[in-house]
Amino acid sequence: MADPRFFSGRGPLPLGRVAAIAGAGLPDGADPDRPVEDVAGLDAAGPAHLSFFDNRAYLDAFRVSRAGFCITRPAMAGEAPAGMLVLASPEPFRSFCLAAQAFHPPAAAVPGVAPGAIVDPTARIDAGAEIAAGAVVGARAEVGPRVRIGANAVVGEAVAIGADTVVGPGASLSHCLIGERVTIYPGARVGQDGFGFAMHRQGHVRLPQLGRVIIEDDVEVGANTTIDRGAGPDTVIGRGTMIDNLVQIGHNVVIGPGSVIVAQVGISGSTKLGEFVVLAGQSAIAGHLTIGAGARVGPQAGVVRDVAPGEDVIGSPAVARRQFWRQVVAVARLARKESG
Amino acid sequence: MADPRFFSGRGPLPLGRVAAIAGAGLPDGADPDRPVEDVAGLDAAGPAHLSFFDNRAYLDAFRVSRAGFCITRPAMAGEAPAGMLVLASPEPFRSFCLAAQAFHPPAAAVPGVAPGAIVDPTARIDAGAEIAAGAVVGARAEVGPRVRIGANAVVGEAVAIGADTVVGPGASLSHCLIGERVTIYPGARVGQDGFGFAMHRQGHVRLPQLGRVIIEDDVEVGANTTIDRGAGPDTVIGRGTMIDNLVQIGHNVVIGPGSVIVAQVGISGSTKLGEFVVLAGQSAIAGHLTIGAGARVGPQAGVVRDVAPGEDVIGSPAVARRQFWRQVVAVARLARKESG
Amino acid sequence: MADPRFFSGRGPLPLGRVAAIAGAGLPDGADPDRPVEDVAGLDAAGPAHLSFFDNRAYLDAFRVSRAGFCITRPAMAGEAPAGMLVLASPEPFRSFCLAAQAFHPPAAAVPGVAPGAIVDPTARIDAGAEIAAGAVVGARAEVGPRVRIGANAVVGEAVAIGADTVVGPGASLSHCLIGERVTIYPGARVGQDGFGFAMHRQGHVRLPQLGRVIIEDDVEVGANTTIDRGAGPDTVIGRGTMIDNLVQIGHNVVIGPGSVIVAQVGISGSTKLGEFVVLAGQSAIAGHLTIGAGARVGPQAGVVRDVAPGEDVIGSPAVARRQFWRQVVAVARLARKESG
């Protein structure tokens, strides 16, 4: 259960409302007014909690769970322990996430400029926005309704931030336009110069970076992630893309909507990703490449050529996943043979 | 020698006291009142300095060192140059570290709230704690005795920090309980949401992250490292674990006591490490795995299966170290044969 | 074209001056007084803009570019579209960078200490330096002429910063001496303790880190990059070296002048790099190694032995580039044979 020191949920909520929010079906005869206290995992849940079961690896935990309510696929309902009320959903995890959001909505903005925040007089701050202690907002910046700017964050000159966006503590933004419902996690760096210069023995010569960063609606940018602004074109993060911590995104990169970029990935300059691309942790994409829609790149992969839509690659240099595993097996066999 | 611009040591200290602190033995007839000025490396040390010699790769440097005092293993004492007083220890480097700490103890807290720091009136700050300029401490936070909160650091609501802990400049903490004698380096991010959501074409749905981060006593968290809070369970860093810079630790990860996590490592969600695990630089561990006590993971390894206690793995995908090197040799031979 | 919301160029500039700054030749009869508005890429440029063409991969873009002015190699001038004035240079990209800097010079310091900045009374701040809102400057620090300290940056005790250096928002510096014309990007961490301790079952024992970080003139340190101070010797970044984002540089590392360190690289303690070394993205160098002048390390390489001057290595463990690609081919063939 969530520690009340840090979390104050909205529960209890009536079962019928929870099911409706979750897009899950109640069994016949269930009382829609039964109170649900909160959400919890299968192990931690008690009789007043809602849990979920989707991955069969957790079947044993499901069978002995004390959860009073549980979302699962219709086909799995028969495995439920006695006393558990089962809510049916074709997408149990998604349903659970929706329910959990109802119990634990994002914190609301506390409108106003906190003591110790420094806001340039030419910045335009919506009356419903929150500027926390120590935050700095530069000249001509625009901060939309219900935006929350965290403690000691820095919003650079002329940066625009759409409604309901959250900027975490200590993050810094410059030369960027940020959409609505975006979350920038603590310490993220958005909009600084890209890494562009002419190499030369007498001293590398920097190229002024004259593009911007455009972050569309519903994007998340992880803690201490860095997104450089474009060199001339813009760096663009498409709507709904989720970026984890410590990711590096070079100048002019364009990431399509709905992509998922796991921690410590690096994307080199001018590479374009289609929609719904998944890059697993610590993978890297060389510059000036095209990664097609729906492509998947495995953990620690090093991609040095274009990837077709829907292709699944891994390895360094990255190859098709099936080929990679064949190589792994072949090399293991070769080594055994030689030492045997 | 340490630059006095930045370091003001406690020396000179009497030889007998230094030896006692270091757990090192003095030779017969040594004068325990001889002053030792400071510690220094074999190359840099002079007649008033204490050095150490342990790794035989540095034997030449030992033989010509001008150090007046040197800690080494008894078996190596015979190689010492004339005029060097040898202190004997079975663990010369550990003894040297202990001695060095005596000359250079951690800076003491300057009690009080500095100008420009913003402390919520409901926060409880020990009278002996230091809150540096620009730091922000949120509502209901608890800061223990002799704690040092660095300039522009952010301590979130209800965060608790034990005695003698140091939080570096620009670091941010939320949803966490921090033990005693912990060091959080500059820019570290502790306690933000983990990377958890249901993927969906109509928009990924975020799962509220309802766990905490628990950091036990004597832990170090490196600069710009990120530790996400649990999704429901907690993320836990065991007592005495050392975490280097730019490390990513996902939600629900549990790290056993005394582990060593080198720079740029990534540990995916829900993975558990036993005690005294060593993860070398840039290695990565997939999610939901168990890494046994005393296991060692090599640099750039990619671990995708459980690792047994004491096992030593490397490669991507990681295999036993011996097998990895056999594979490296076999592949090199194969390539030579084909091109030969 | 640069968005005027964020960029206000110095254009128009007369063609003759632009050519002189760029070190590029004008064709016979060109009017040196023709105005050039700004720089732009081949695709985006219009009749009043200066572009460049160097990489033949962009030949098609060159042939249809609407740029009024374009820098290219003399041999390529014949491919220019009608109406384009061609400036000849043996190094078109370098010439273009120089021209672009003339249109978009670095922002000048706004002298003085902004509201909300906290400067210790013993710090010495040049009258022409800018200390932005929320920045903290410690005791005895020295900040030179025209230096810009960004919002919420932290300059530690006794740190010295040379003329024309820029410290980005939220960066933190301690125990370091910074040269002239250095750029420290947002969130970079310079000078904290290195990762040094004696491992021990009863608790690892930290070694006080008594060295400094020396950053020579004209260096760039990327966003959220971490550079630890030396353990006894110094950590040194040579003149003109360019370091990208999220790079880890361990204690006692010495990097020669003019080196290029791409994003997410890790350099372990006490390793020395010669001049003009290039480390590609996500590569890693083990500790106590020597990397010769002009060496090149490929992306994701893991270097575990010394690298000779001019050598080109890749792979993990890294081998000569040619050998690496032979191995890649041999393994692919082996896997095909086994599964075929």
Amino acid at A236: V
Give pLDDT < 50 ranges for chain B.
none
* B residues 86-105 closer than 8 Å to A (CB): none
Reply yes or no on whether the pLDDT at C340 is more than 70: no
Rg (CA), chain C: 24
Considering only CB atoms, C326 lies closest to which of B2, B260, B335, namely B335
Contact yes or no for A197 and C242 at CB 8 A: yes
Backbone φ and ψ of A64, nearest 5°: -110, 5
Is C115 within 8 Å of C131 (Cβ atoms)?
Answer: no
| Model confidence pLDDT, tens digit, residues C242-279 | 999 999 999 999 999 999 999 999 999 999 999 999 99
Alpha helix (H) residue ranges in chain A: 15-22, 59-64, 92-103, 321-339
Reply yes or no on whether the pLDDT at C121 is more than 90: yes
* pLDDT for B340: 62
**Percent of chain A whose pLDDT exceeds 70:** 100
Closest CA to B103 of C329, C232, C31: C232
* pLDDT for A338: 80
| Band (A229; pLDDT cuts 50, 70, 90) | very high
Reply yes or no on whether the pLDDT at A1 is more than 80: no
Which one has a higher pLDDT value, C268 or A339?
C268
Q: Which helix (H) or strand (E) holds C130?
A: strand C130-131
Is A143 within 8 Å of A125 (Cβ atoms)?
Answer: yes
B183 beta partners:
B166, B220
Indicate the pTM of the whole model: 0.98
Written as six digits, the tokens of A284 are: 């890297």
Is C251 among the residues known to form the active site?
yes
CA–CA separation, A119 vs A251, rounded Å? 29
- Reported ipTM: the value is 0.97
C242 beta partners:
C220, C260
| Model confidence pLDDT, tens digit, residues C129-149 | 999 999 999 999 999 999 999
* pLDDT for B339: 73
Q: How many CB atoms lie within 10 A of CB C83?
A: 9
Is B300 within 8 Å of B282 (Cβ atoms)?
Answer: yes
Helix (H, G, I), strand (E, B) or coil at B265: coil
What CA–CA distances, in Å, run from B196 to A1, B6, B202, C292?
17, 43, 16, 44
Closest CA to B323 of A10, A331, C186: A331
Closest CA to C320 of A129, B127, A248, B339: B339
CA–CA separation, B70 vs B45, rounded Å? 10
| Model confidence pLDDT, tens digit, residues B87-110 | 999 999 999 999 999 999 999 999
Is C303 within 8 Å of C286 (Cβ atoms)?
Answer: yes
| Model confidence pLDDT, tens digit, residues A177-198 | 999 999 999 999 999 999 999 9
Reply yes or no on whether the pLDDT at A332 is more than 70: yes
Q: Give the A:B interface size as CB pairs under 8 Å.
A: 187
* pLDDT for A17: 98
Is B161 within 8 Å of B153 (Cβ atoms)?
Answer: no
CA–CA separation, B328 vs B127, rounded Å? 59
* pLDDT for B338: 80
Q: List the beta strands (DSSP E) in B231-322.
A: 235-237, 242-243, 248-249, 254-255, 260-261, 266-267, 272-273, 278-279, 284-285, 290-291, 296-297, 302-303, 312-314, 319-320
Question: Would you call A197 an interface residue with chain B, using a CB distance cutoff of 8 Å?
Answer: no
Q: How many CB atoms lie within 10 A of CB A315?
A: 22
CB contact set of B115 (below 8 Å; sequence gap of 6+): B133, C118
* A residues 164-183 closer than 8 Å to C (CB): 170-172, 174-175
CB contact set of B207 (below 8 Å; sequence gap of 6+): A93, A96, A97, A100, B196, B197, B198, B231
Beta strands C172-173 and C189-190, pairing class: parallel
Residues in chain B: 340
Is B49 within 8 Å of B40 (Cβ atoms)?
Answer: yes
* pLDDT for B273: 98
Reply yes or no on whether the pLDDT at A340 is more than 80: no
CA–CA separation, A123 vs A142, rounded Å? 6
Specify the DSSP class assigned to residue B47: T
Is A220 within 8 Å of A237 (Cβ atoms)?
Answer: no
CA–CA separation, B74 vs B85, rounded Å? 12
**What mean pLDDT, rounded, does chain B reach?**
97
Written as six digits, the tokens of C61 are: 């873009």
Which of B53, B113, B182, B224 is best to mutate for the C interface (most C CBs within 10 A)? B224
* pLDDT for C339: 73
CB contact set of A20 (below 8 Å; sequence gap of 6+): none
Contact yes or no for C268 and B258 at CB 8 A: no
Reply yes or no on whether the pLDDT at C220 is more than 90: yes
CA–CA separation, C287 vs B53, rounded Å? 18
Q: Which helix (H) or strand (E) holds B35?
A: strand B35-36
CA C199, C203, C205: angle at the middle one, nearest 5?
60
Is C204 within 8 Å of A210 (Cβ atoms)?
Answer: no
Contacts of A305 in chain C (CB under 8 A): none
Contact yes or no for A205 and C132 at CB 8 A: no
Amino acid at C75: A
Q: How many CB atoms lie within 10 A of CB C27?
A: 10
Written as six digits, the tokens of A87 are: 């809510």
What CA–CA distances, in Å, run from C224 to A143, B27, B189, B319, C201?
25, 49, 12, 32, 33
| Model confidence pLDDT, tens digit, residues A162-171 | 999 999 999 9
Helix (H, G, I), strand (E, B) or coil at C64: helix
Cα distance from C127 to chain A (closest Cα, Å)? 22
Neighbouring chains of B at 3+ CB pairs under 8 Å are A, C
| Model confidence pLDDT, tens digit, residues C34-53 | 999 999 999 999 999 999 99
| Model confidence pLDDT, tens digit, residues A113-123 | 999 999 999 99
Written as six digits, the tokens of A152 are: 């000691």
* pLDDT for A339: 73
CA–CA separation, C254 vs C257, rounded Å? 10
Considering only CB atoms, A5 lies closest to which of B158, B171, B198, namely B158
Q: How many CB atoms lie within 10 A of CB C1?
A: 17
Token look-up 């035989």 returns B56
Cα distance from C143 to chain B (closest Cα, Å)? 15
Contacts of C332 in chain B (CB under 8 A): none
C-alpha dihedral over A156, A157, A162, A167, to 10 degrees? 10
Q: How many CB atoms lie within 10 A of CB C186?
A: 32
Which of A282, A296, A316, A338 is best to mutate for the B interface (most B CBs within 10 A)? A282
| Model confidence pLDDT, tens digit, residues B40-98 | 999 999 999 999 999 998 999 999 999 999 999 999 999 999 999 999 999 999 999 99
* pLDDT for B195: 95
CA–CA separation, A42 vs C278, rounded Å? 51
Contacts of B186 in chain C (CB under 8 A): 154, 172, 174, 189, 192
Contacts of C40 in chain A (CB under 8 A): 232
Is A117 within 8 Å of B225 (Cβ atoms)?
Answer: no
